[in-house]
A and B are shown apart, each in its own frame.
Chain A
Amino acid sequence: MQIKLSKISAYWWCQLTGWGGNALMNFFFAWTFNRAITTPFIIRSFFIVLLGLLLTHFMRWNLLRLNVLQKTFDKQIFYFFGITFGFSVLYSLISLSLFNILGLFTPEQKVYSFSRLLIGSSINAFVTLLVWNLIYFIYHYVERVRKQQLDALQMQSVVRELELKTIKAHINPHFIFNSLNGIRALVDENPARARTAITELSNILRSSMQAEKLETVPFEKELAIVQDYLALEQMRFEERLKVNFDIEEDTLDLPVPPMMLQTLVENAIKHGISKNVAGGEIKISSKFAGNHHELVIRNTGRLNGNFNTDGFGISSTQSRLKLMFGDSANFTIADVNGDEVEAKVKMPIEGL
């Protein structure tokens, strides 16, 4: 039978090195104190180690059977000392009986009565087993803390992933059904426009589904979605919605979080244009600002300090930027020019 070293568990490593070390120490002390290393000494040492191995293994079996490690701290301490004490007595009782039968007592030992030998040997064994149990309990305690930390970390990453997914997948159902309704009306009124509207809606739905899988998309793609989205909103709002793009050509290749601009534009429509009977204008600009990519969305309207009430777009944008870029990205939203709201995103260019 072959035993691969890597297959030996930590427990058996500790057992073997521990008891091996114990035997070596015995020899070392015998040597330093100039005691004769006789055959009975070697046999005694051998029995001490073998018995120690067997008994501690039996002790561990009891610890596992009683589920001591799962108990409360008070109970663990109680069991810890109780079991250590019990097994020390058992250990010395067996070893002394064995030495007695086999006639392995040293000349000094023969002087004392058996009960006195038992007390002395038990105290010795108690110290040894105390160390054994301390190592055993501490090992498991440390192991458990480490596992808890690992679980917590895994949990965090799962939560983070889920958060990102739900944020990305967000498309306003109100928008989808209103668009479909508009398209149905256009089927008779303007069939050609109805056909493009269906394509535009498909593009938006497809990209919102793909957004879950992607960390970033080229700005050009994101912009195409926003253009489709605004075309559909213009179909619904007609002359009430005006759109204005100011895009620096070189920013088209920059990576951006998927559906982020889309969410901000959707917010601008929802809070800015759709609330206003006369409608309004949306301006989108993308340019370089130092070593940052700056996206600006402006819409007619006022914040009126109430953007916390329906702050899904704002809080989700903030947390998405934070998750992707840490503190090097930044998002602000403010009233400007008296009757406009400006949302501004700054993303580091080489931060990805």
Chain B
Amino acid sequence: MHKRAIIIDDERLARNELKKLLTDFPEIEVIDEASNAEEGLQKIEALNPDLIFLDIQMPGKTGFDLLSELDRTPEVIFTTAYDEYALRAFEVNALDYLLKPIEPKRLADAIHKLDEDEKEHIDGESISVNRSMLSENDQVFVKDGERCWFVKLSDIRLFESVGNYAKVYFGPNKPLILKSLNALEERLDEKTFFRANRKHIVNLRMIEKVEPYFNGGLLLEIYGGDKIEVSRRQAVKFKEMMSL
């Protein structure tokens, strides 16, 4: 395992300390560091790291704000002095966090865990040539009020447009993210995510039933019981895709 990592923390001393601790782990290569969220965002977009060490309390934007602005989040290990309550906001996902001053043993565990997660996903690995497109295995960070999730795209069954926001359906949750449906459609793989109508993008792997509908349209029933109408124009495209 080799991982390219960026450290994002507003304190130079804290970054130095973490870098020093990471010298014991040759598989983690620290390629850059950032002292605030804005700088962090730019460096993540430019360098596309596999892993970020992220402080939560930073000037300007917090670590959570940074994550919500990313289309695709790398693996994240939070480093924080005293924010256990904030981390409890995380519901489903297995995310790791380190309390500063960081215990070397805990750091080793966290890195070991990354390694294991990777082995599990080795089959599903898809090398996407075009990094601007999101693949099924990419994860996104979703924050809705106090609660946060890391969600794999393959677990999302539906995006619904609500004004400037999009409602993301996965598991029992339907949080809102500040992204338009059109912007999402551009980034999503159209083989998996299908624009059914003006208001909905459906995950094709999550469809349970297809029924004919008025005007030559279709009615899709997706897991969880939601029914989505497919406009006539899109229905033609849908049938084309399905017959392939």
The interface of chain A, by Cβ under 8 A from chain B, is 173-174, 176-178, 180-182, 184-186, 188-189, 235-238, 240, 274-277, 279
One of A174, A185, A237 near B82 (C-beta < 8 A): A174
One of B14, B36, B82 near A182 (C-beta < 8 A): B14
Q: How far is the CA of A176 from the CA of B100 in the complex (A)?
A: 10
Contact of A277 with B60 at beta-carbon distance under 8 Å, contacts A174-B82, A186-B13 already known: yes
Interface of B is mostly: loop
**B20 pairs with A185, CB closer than 8 A:** yes
- Determine if B12 is an interface residue (Cβ-Cβ < 8 Å): yes
Output the least CB separation between B26 and chain A (Å): 20
Residues on B with C-beta less than 8 A from A186 are 13
| 21 sample A-B contacts, Cβ–Cβ < 8 Å, listed by A number | A173-B82, A174-B81, A174-B82, A176-B81, A177-B81, A178-B81, A178-B100, A181-B100, A181-B101, A182-B14, A182-B17, A184-B101, A185-B13, A185-B14, A185-B16, A185-B17, A186-B13, A236-B13, A236-B14, A274-B10, A277-B60
Q: How far is the CA of A275 from the CA of B60 in the complex (A)?
A: 5
- Residue-wise, chain B 9-25 has the 8 Å CB interface mask toward A (1 for contact) of 01111101100100000
Interface size class of B (residues with CB under 8 A): 20 to 34
**B17 pairs with A181, CB closer than 8 A:** yes
Which of A178, A236, A274 has the most B CB atoms < 10 Å from its CB? A178
**A276 pairs with B101, CB closer than 8 A:** no
Q: How far is the CA of A193 from the CA of B38 in the complex (A)?
A: 30
**A274 pairs with B59, CB closer than 8 A:** yes
Known: A173-B82, A180-B101, A181-B102. 4 other contacts (CB 8 A): A181-B17, A182-B17, A185-B17, A236-B13
One of B36, B60, B100 near A177 (C-beta < 8 A): B100
Output the least CB separation between A225 and chain B (Å): 21
Residues on B with C-beta less than 8 A from A237 are 11
Output the least CB separation between B206 and chain A (Å): 40
Contact of A236 with B11 at beta-carbon distance under 8 Å, contacts A177-B100, A185-B17 already known: yes
- Please provide the 7 A-B residue pairs with the shortest distance between their CB atoms, ordered closest to farther: A177-B81, A185-B17, A185-B13, A181-B100, A182-B13, A181-B101, A178-B81
Q: How far is the CA of A265 from the CA of B13 in the complex (A)?
A: 22
Q: How far is the CA of A277 from the CA of B39 in the complex (A)?
A: 10
Q: How far is the CA of A276 from the CA of B60 in the complex (A)?
A: 6
Contact of A235 with B82 at beta-carbon distance under 8 Å, contacts A177-B100, A177-B101 already known: no
- Determine if B99 is an interface residue (Cβ-Cβ < 8 Å): yes
Output the least CB separation between B156 and chain A (Å): 33
